[in-house]
Each structure stands twice: as C-alpha cells, then as structure tokens.
Amino acid sequence: MAEPAPSPDLALIEQAAGILRAGGLVAMPTETVYGLAADASNPEAVARLYESKGRPRFNPLIAHVRDVEMARREAVVSPLAGRLMAAFWPGPLTIVLPVAPAGTVCDLARAGLETVALRCPAHEWARALILAFGGPVVAPSANRSGHVSPTLAAHVAADLAGKVGLILDAGPCPVGIESTIVAVHGEIVTLLRSGAVPAGAIEAVIGGKLARESGGGISAPGMLKSHYAPKARLRLNVPAPEAGEGFLGFGPGAADMNLSPAGDLAEAAANLFAMLRAMDTQFDRIAVAPVPAEGLGEAINDRLARAAHRDS
C-alpha cells in the first residue's frame, strides 16, 4: 500500500496560489494524476497552459472546485447532478453541466462549449490550493499533450521542465488513473469517459443505466481517439510477447513489468502510467497482457486503446 501523502505545506500552497493569481502555472497533485493548474477564469493563463502542453484547443478542460457551493456558482446543478455530487465528491468524478449565467470559467477553457466540466478533487493538497486561490482552477494532466499521464512529481519535471512555476510534490497519486466523466442532461446521465469511478457505482446512485456517447464530437476531456501515447508501439490483449517486445503483464506470470501480479485492478490502475513511461524508455515495441474489462478494467483498457492508437 502506498504511503499516505504528507500534510499540505501551507507556505508552498500560498506561494502556488500567488503564481496562479499572477497568471502562472502550477503542477498540483490530485488523487488521480498530477494536474497542470491555471486560473480557470483567465484566458491568457489558459492559453499559456494549452501552449505548454501542446494541447488541441478543441479539447475542453476540467475546472476543479473546492466544494458543491463553488460548483453551483459555475454551473446549473440539477437535483440529479446534486445527487451525484453528494455520492462521489470529493472524488474522481467529473460532471459536465450547463454553464451558470455568472460562471467564471472562461470560454477558452470550455473550448467554446455552453457546458462546463467540474470536479471536486479528494486530494488535500489540491483542495488546499483551490481554497487558498479562492476560485476554480483548470488542471489537465501535467504532461505534454498525448504523452503518458504523470503520477509522480518527477514525471511532471521530465515533461514540463521550465514551463511550470512550481511543482507541488506530495508523492505518488494514490488512484493513478483519471476521473470518470459524465454529462447530465435533464434525467439522462451519459458516460463520456471511463475512469476511476466504475460505471456500475454511478448506475447504483442514479437508479438506472448510463447512456453512452454516440456522437463524433469532443464534448469532454480525454475523448481524443489517440491519447496517452508513448513513443513505443503497443500490441494489446496478448498472452506473451514476440521477439524484441517488452511485456507489460497483468496477473501471475513472467513480465518485464507487471501492472498487478495479484490481478488487482486498483493496483493496476495506480501503476499504469508510471509503467508505460518506464517501459517507453526501454522498448520500441510493448506487448500488453489482457486486462479484464469490468470495473476499473474498463478505464484501464480505454487508456491502453488510446495509447495504442496511431493516426493513419
């Protein structure tokens, strides 16, 4: 089991909040992955964030809020959305809702959409930073766009050295995989991205099945077909490697690295990005063992499929 994160360093938190107020960028730990934080209301800061990541501007950003009260200032929160917030916040569920008339998340951060993606993180460092800053912060993964997401401060430094004002180092991210994203339209909840909250847990709260996104547009972060991509070529759902391939295992058996020798999906999720990063430095081709597609396995397979995709 991972060591608990150290208590927030309040002096560093205040320094980070000052950087955000000045339009700068801060890498902040969350329970999912490290995020590259910027003032959600400041289009210049958001533009700097996009530039630092090389992120496509049609891919909207998640605004991180301190609590439900802050969320209600940014979005129109229906009773159904309120039930989801009560059940899963703080935690790794992002909810896409209509923008409130007085919402402060800028148009650039929303990629021009009339909706806003909101999350209340569970990590105490992230919550302390949002409280000290006093408003929402956008915080996509703190890596170059399309690269493997960072679960350690060292991953952030490797990707974004010189492009971030401060890296708040609170150790490994305990969940290690991004938030689940849903959109709430009236009484319909649509799954936009699989993630750390399993679909079944959400369905238990809403008392019915999630709708599934069928359109071709980009309505939430993480929906690009090619994403989380290492330089190495990935071959998925294979029991053994071919000659010259590295092998990323799952469950018992020999492997160059193993997401979880015990077959634990939570352990696999926490290890996924760090192991992809490590293997990407050693191999040009990586074979990946099958991972069950239930629960967290759905999100793990989603990330692997995006990592393996190559545009033609």
Which of 269-293 are b and which e, b meaning 16 or more Cβ less than 10 Å from the residue's Cβ?
bbbbbbbbbbbbeebeebbbbebee
The CA angle 106-179-291, to the nearest 5 degrees, is 145
DSSP 63: E
Q: Would you state the pLDDT for residue 226?
A: 58
Provide Rg for the chain, Cα atoms: 19
- Give the list of residues 6+ apart from residue 69 with CB closer than 8 angstroms, or none: none
Predicted TM-score (pTM) of the model is 0.83
Are the beta carbons of 192 and 181 closer than 8 angstroms? yes
pLDDT > 70 fraction of the chain, expressed in percent and rounded = 92
The model's pLDDT over 32-74, given as tens digits with 9 standing for 90+, comes to: 999 999 999 998 899 889 888 876 665 789 999 999 999 999 9
Q: Would you state the pLDDT for residue 98?
A: 96
**Domains, in order of start, for the chain:** 10-212 (3.90.870.10), 233-308 (no CATH)
The model's pLDDT over 81-119, given as tens digits with 9 standing for 90+, comes to: 999 999 999 999 999 999 999 999 998 898 888 899 999
Q: Would you state the pLDDT for residue 206?
A: 97
Q: Would you state the pLDDT for residue 1?
A: 43
Walking along the chain (312 residues) 10 residues at a time, the average pLDDT comes out as: 76 98 97 97 89 74 97 98 98 97 92 92 98 97 89 95 95 95 95 95 97 69 63 95 97 97 91 90 97 88 85 55
Paired residues of 35 in beta bridges: 28, 141
- Give the list of residues 6+ apart from residue 214 with CB closer than 8 angstroms, or none: none
Q: Would you state the pLDDT for residue 213?
A: 75
Structure-derived torsion over alpha carbons of residues 97, 84, 194, 223, reported in degrees to the nearest 10? 10
CA 68 to chain centre: 20
- Measure the CA–CA gap between 56 and 38, rounded to whole angstroms: 16
Residue 49: both structure tokens together: 């964030």
**Residue carrying the six token digits 């766009």:** 145
